[in-house]
Amino acid sequence: MKKVEAIVRHFKLEDVKNALTDHGVHGMTVSEVRGFGRQKGHTEIYRGTEYAIDFVPKVKIEVICTDENLQMVVDTILQTAQTGQIGDGKIFVTNLEESIRIRTGERGEEAL
């Protein structure tokens, strides 16, 4: 099993969610996050004073999938979230040792 974490722009969340559900992904976790990378934030003007926004708001999508579905999940997120501009985000893939459904006690891929 794999855990896929994708940091994407807010306005791409609904598109990514719909694309993943169309491909059979049954669940995901979404969190509001803030951070910076090469985009390095931006400046805004408020009441005539310019100030820096160092941490840019983004959305983190977490999806747990089987090894067989990993490439489909990553490709779907890439195709849906990409705008071609700096700040599109990142995708991280990690190995997942165990998953357990609390309600039934099912383990492994059965718990997905």
Residue ranges and CATH numbers for the domains of the chain are 2-111 (3.30.70.120)
Q: What token pair was written down for 46?
A: 């408020």
Residue 20 has pLDDT above 70, yes or no: yes
Distance CA 108, CA 66 (A): 9
Query: Mean pLDDT throughout 21-35?
Result: 94
DSSP string covering 3-26? EEEEEE-GGGHHHHHHHHHHTT--
Residue-level pLDDT at 41: 62
Residue-level pLDDT at 42: 62
Residue-level pLDDT at 56: 85
- Per-residue pLDDT reduced to its tens digit, 36-91: 777 666 666 777 777 777 788 899 999 999 999 999 999 999 999 999 988 899 99
Q: What token pair was written down for 101?
A: 């459904």
Closest by CA position to 7, among listed 78, 65, 64: 78
Closest by CA position to 90, among listed 44, 52, 56: 56
Full-model pTM: 0.84
